[in-house]
């Protein structure tokens, strides 16, 4: 039986363009597998579109808020349609970086030490004095990023204390809470998790080497600005450690179908988790599709199986 699938992408987040590219690529990959695929933006006409299409399954391919914070998953579940991806509760915990890091520390999953500062507290307590205390506690260098959102938008590496105020302003441009974490020098890798019949497996780790030294928005989505190695150029033992950590994160957060876990292999050889993504990109330069290819799989085949799984389990 050929399933009818509705891929949702776009939305109003700063990651709209990336979401559209991800959605279109996923749709084309599924069409290559013979599925009847429709693509829709997430706007005021969405409910009418869903009613007209009557899909067997929905694939949310939104990046950023609404797509990753559980809101859209809740709407789809309320409408009674099967969908590919994690449940709303798991989305919410994963998407909020300070909440996710607190959960990881509770579960003894290694992750850099951090401080989360709402803009109101930052302003009311005195920015200068507060930042001095943060630097004294966490040291330098630091990574500053918005508490919610992806694609490294609003993220900065701070190597000197004088750079921190501007980095905070940059992060606050994308949300009301900024997260400051200890920067861990090392090798950046990403491990994708794909479930088959509910059993998660780690795909080969992708090693990320941006030309600029920082994997920012341009480095992520501009061809030629970052070099990737799949599988990562690490020892077999280190690769296994990264895979085990990624699987632990996926299962601890009760994620479903697929995810991507970003890590740093520190200079002492130990991997630490930076963050988890419940809606990783599917563009031509994105990491999960590269891992899928390295595993000898096809993106369309992977998502076709996830659609079958979603339809079988229902809402």
| Cis status of the peptide bond prior to 27, with omega within 30 of 0 | no
How far apart, in whole angstroms, are the C-alpha atoms of residue 249 and residue 11?
A: 27
> Given 3.40.470.10, 3.30.470.20, 3.40.50.970, 2.40.50.100, which CATH number is that of 93-109+184-297?
3.30.470.20
> Given 3.30.1490.20, 1.10.150.120, 3.60.20.10, 3.20.20.60, which CATH number is that of 114-182?
3.30.1490.20
Buried-exposed string 147-186: b where 16+ CB fall within 10 A, e elsewhere: bbbbbbbbbbebeeeebbeebbbbbbebbebbbbbbbbeb
Which residue(s) pair with 36 in the sheet? 4
What pLDDT, on the 0 to 100 scale, is given for residue 219? Answer: 62
What pLDDT, on the 0 to 100 scale, is given for residue 76? Answer: 95
List of E strands, the chain: 4-9, 36-41, 57-60, 114-118, 142-146, 156-158, 177-182, 186-196, 199-202, 206-210, 226-229, 258-266, 271-277
For the chain, first and last CA: distance in Å? 19
| pTM for this entry | 0.92
List the 177-182 sheet strands across, edge first: 114-118, 177-182, 142-146, 156-158
What pLDDT, on the 0 to 100 scale, is given for residue 216? Answer: 62
What pLDDT, on the 0 to 100 scale, is given for residue 197? Answer: 83
What pLDDT, on the 0 to 100 scale, is given for residue 231? Answer: 96
> Given 3.20.20.140, 3.40.50.2030, 3.40.50.20, 3.40.50.720, which CATH number is that of 4-85?
3.40.50.20
**For the chain, what are the domain ranges?**
4-85, 93-109+184-297, 114-182
The encoded tokens of residue 221 equal 């989505």
**CA dist 251 to 71, 144, 261, Å?**
21, 27, 12
Residue with tokens 């330069």: 285
The encoded tokens of residue 10 equal 């776009």
The encoded tokens of residue 163 equal 């750079």
Instruction: Note the maximum CA span of the chain.
Output: 64
What pLDDT, on the 0 to 100 scale, is given for residue 113? Answer: 96
What pLDDT, on the 0 to 100 scale, is given for residue 217? Answer: 64
What pLDDT, on the 0 to 100 scale, is given for residue 221? Answer: 67
Q: How many CB atoms lie within 10 A of CB 229?
A: 17
What pLDDT, on the 0 to 100 scale, is given for residue 153? Answer: 80
The encoded tokens of residue 52 equal 């007209």
At residue 246, φ and ψ (nearest 5 deg) are: -65, -40
Q: Which residues of the chain have pLDDT under 50?
A: none
């Amino acid at each position: 039986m050929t399933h009818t699938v509705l891929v949702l992408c776009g939305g109003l987040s700063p990651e709209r363009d990336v979401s559209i590219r991800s959605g279109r690529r996923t749709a084309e990959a599924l069409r290559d597998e013979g599925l009847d695929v429709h693509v829709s933006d997430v706007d005021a006409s969405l409910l009418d579109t869903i009613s007209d299409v009557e899909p067997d399954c929905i694939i949310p391919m939104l990046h950023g808020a609404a797509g990753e914070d559980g809101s859209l998953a809740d709407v789809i579940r309320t409408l009674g349609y099967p969908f590919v991806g994690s449940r709303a509760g798991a989305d919410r915990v994963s998407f909020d970086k300070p909440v996710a890091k607190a959960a990881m520390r509770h579960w003894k999953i290694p992750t850099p030490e951090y401080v989360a500062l709402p803009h109101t507290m930052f302003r009311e307590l005195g920015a200068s004095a507060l930042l001095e205390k943060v630097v004294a506690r966490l040291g330098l260098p630091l990574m500053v990023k918005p508490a919610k959102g992806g694609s490294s938008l609003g993220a900065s590496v701070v190597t000197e204390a004088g750079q921190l105020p501007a980095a905070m302003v940059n992060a606050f441009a994308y949300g009301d809470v900024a997260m400051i974490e200890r920067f861990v020098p090392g090798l950046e890798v990403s491990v994708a998790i794909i479930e088959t019949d509910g059993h998660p497996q780690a795909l080969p780790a992708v090693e990320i080497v941006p030309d600029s030294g920082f994997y920012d928005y341009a480095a992520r989505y501009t061809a030629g600005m970052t070099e990737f190695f799949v599988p990562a150029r690490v020892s077999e033992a280190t690769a296994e450690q990264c895979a085990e950590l990624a699987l632990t994160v996926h299962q601890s957060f009760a994620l479903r179908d697929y995810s991507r876990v970003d890590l740093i292999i520190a200079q002492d050889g130990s991997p630490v988790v930076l963050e988890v993504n419940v809606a990783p990109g599917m563009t031509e330069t994105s990491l999960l599709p590269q891992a899928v290819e390295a595993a000898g799989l096809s993106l369309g085949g992977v998502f076709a199986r996830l659609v079958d799984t979603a339809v079988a389990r229902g809402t």
